[in-house]
């Protein structure tokens, strides 16, 4: 090898090293600049917990502890903020053998949890270590998309459970599919409360009317703009369209007809296609300004099926008037930067006993806490 070859190899090595360093620097800058969330003036968003393997469903216990289903890890954990600094201490694992748990709901005397094939109740959720549980409902469908919605009614006598469809658009063989089911609190008295719901990912009772509200994810395969995702008011015995119709009773090309769609119940509010609405929470606390009282927050986790027209990846405020949704607006944004590389996916919104809004982020492994500190305060939080 002559001197000229050696010089060229040194130059090439130097250029390659610089390229690697520049790439690493660019990735670090992207991560640091992208993982920032935006909220309205006066609000602050901070990471309440980090390093969680797929945080999904959440519920607060009577002592202010936050119970979180970690879907990716198959765990149920408890988080506490003992020192009051707005950040949770190390999580305590209560159950470690779950199949993609995604929903939890607190009853007066315990915690109910939904995983893919069953619903369980915890005997002593406030224990300091692993707890025992009872299987309340078993032998539920386990194929299809992960994610269930579970909600105990205020009187504590029954709970509601969503079972998603197994497919994008089809006629299901299992009548439990694409429904919201109602069970007695100990698991008996199963009733199909509503049908035609492809993927109900969030349930909540309206604080004044007592009506059951539900989000629902529409089908895929109709392009970037169709069909809209939905917010529904669930009533006993109603059919909400899938797989025959979508949106405002629009027939699906595979199965639909105007006559069949005429007897279905349309949504009360539509979200953009592929925005993937998840958990819903009504705001009835006192921390936020009075204008927020009675409105709802919905996490839109987003869907890659939107192609170039990505939607979701944010939390929206649903404005409510006279017990009905009248529109929605952005509340927490930033998970989807301008470059289209989403770094997180909000899935559930929950109002805490302190009046703050908690958001589970299955994409980044964090739980975010949104608080209000007064006009003039503005946070662009990044969990750092």
Per-residue CA distances from 59 to 78, 313, 359 (Å): 10, 22, 11
Backbone angles phi, psi at 28, to 5 degrees: -65, -40
For residues 56 and 362, give the distance between their C-alpha atoms in angstroms, rounded to a whole number.
Answer: 6
Other beta carbons less than 10 A from residue 325's beta carbon: 19
CA distance 303 to 168: 14
Q: Report CA-CA distances (Å) from 172 to 77, 177, 240.
A: 34, 7, 15
* Confidence (pLDDT) at 1: 53
- Which run of H or E residues covers position 231? strand 229-234
User: What's the pTM?
Assistant: 0.88
Q: What is the pLDDT of residues 291-325, one digit of tens each?
A: 999 999 999 999 755 455 578 999 999 999 999 99
Residue 260 exposure: Cα atoms within 13 Å on the Cβ side: 16
Contact partners, residue 17, CB within 8 Å, separation at least 6:
none
Sign (positive or negative) of CA dihedral 275, 278, 282, 286:
negative
Model pLDDT for residues 77-118, shown as the tens digit of each residue:
999 998 888 899 999 999 999 999 999 999 877 899 999 999
DSSP readout, 254-289?
TT--HHHHTTS---SEEE-TT--EEEEEE--SSSS-
Residue written as tokens 């979200």?
271
* The two structure tokens encoding residue 384: 């750092």
Eight-state DSSP code of residue 6? H
Q: Assign 191 to helix, strand or coil.
A: strand
Say if residues 147 and 122 touch (Cβ distance below 8 Å).
no
Report the alpha-carbon distance of residue 349 to residue 351 in Å, rounded: 7
Nearest partner of 271 among 217, 208, 345, 213, judged by Cα: 217
Task: Provide mean pLDDT across the span 142-153.
Answer: 90
**Residue-range domain boundaries for the chain:** 38-53+274-384
pLDDT (tens digit per residue) in 23-72: 343 344 334 434 699 999 999 999 999 999 999 999 999 889 999 999 99
Q: C-alpha angle with apex 338: 337 to 340, nearest 5 degrees? A: 75
């Amino acid at each position: 090898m002559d001197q000229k070859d050696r010089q060229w190899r040194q130059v090439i090595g130097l250029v390659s090293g610089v390229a690697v360093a520049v790439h690493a620097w660019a990735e670090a800058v992207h991560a640091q600049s992208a993982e920032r969330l935006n909220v309205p003036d006066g609000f602050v968003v901070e990471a309440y917990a980090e390093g969680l393997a797929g945080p999904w469903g959440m519920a607060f216990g009577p002592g202010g502890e936050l119970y979180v289903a970690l879907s990716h890890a198959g765990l149920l954990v408890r988080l506490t903020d003992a020192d009051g600094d707005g950040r949770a201490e190390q999580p305590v694992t209560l159950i470690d053998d779950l199949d993609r748990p995604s929903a939890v709901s607190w009853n007066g005397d315990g915690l109910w949890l939904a995983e893919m094939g069953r619903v369980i109740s915890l005997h002593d959720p406030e224990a300091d270590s692993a707890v025992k549980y009872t299987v309340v409902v078993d032998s539920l469908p386990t194929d299809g998309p992960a994610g269930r919605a579970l909600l105990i009614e205020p009187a504590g006598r029954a709970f509601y459970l969503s079972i998603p469809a197994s497919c994008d658009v089809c006629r299901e063989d299992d009548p439990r599919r694409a429904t919201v089911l109602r069970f007695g609190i100990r698991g008996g008295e199963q009733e199909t409360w509503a049908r035609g719901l492809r993927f109900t990912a969030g349930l909540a009772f309206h604080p004044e009317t007592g009506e059951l509200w539900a989000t629902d994810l529409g089908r895929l395969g109709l392009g970037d703009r169709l069909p809209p995702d939905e917010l529904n008011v669930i009533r006993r015995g109603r059919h909400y369209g899938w797989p025959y119709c979508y949106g405002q009773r629009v027939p699906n090309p595979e199965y639909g007809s105007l006559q069949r769609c005429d007897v279905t119940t349309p949504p009360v509010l539509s979200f953009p296609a592929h925005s993937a609405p998840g958990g819903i929470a009504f705001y009835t606390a006192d921390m936020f300004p009075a204008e927020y009282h009675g409105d709802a927050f919905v996490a839109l986790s987003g869907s890659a099926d939107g192609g170039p027209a990505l939607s979701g990846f944010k939390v929206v405020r649903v404005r409510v008037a006279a017990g009905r949704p009248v529109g929605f607006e952005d509340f927490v944004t930033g998970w989807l930067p301008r470059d289209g590389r989403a770094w997180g996916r909000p899935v559930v919104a929950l109002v805490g006993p302190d009046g703050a809004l908690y958001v589970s982020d299955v994409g980044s492994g964090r739980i975010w806490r949104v608080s209000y500190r007064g006009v003039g305060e503005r946070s662009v939080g990044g969990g750092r």
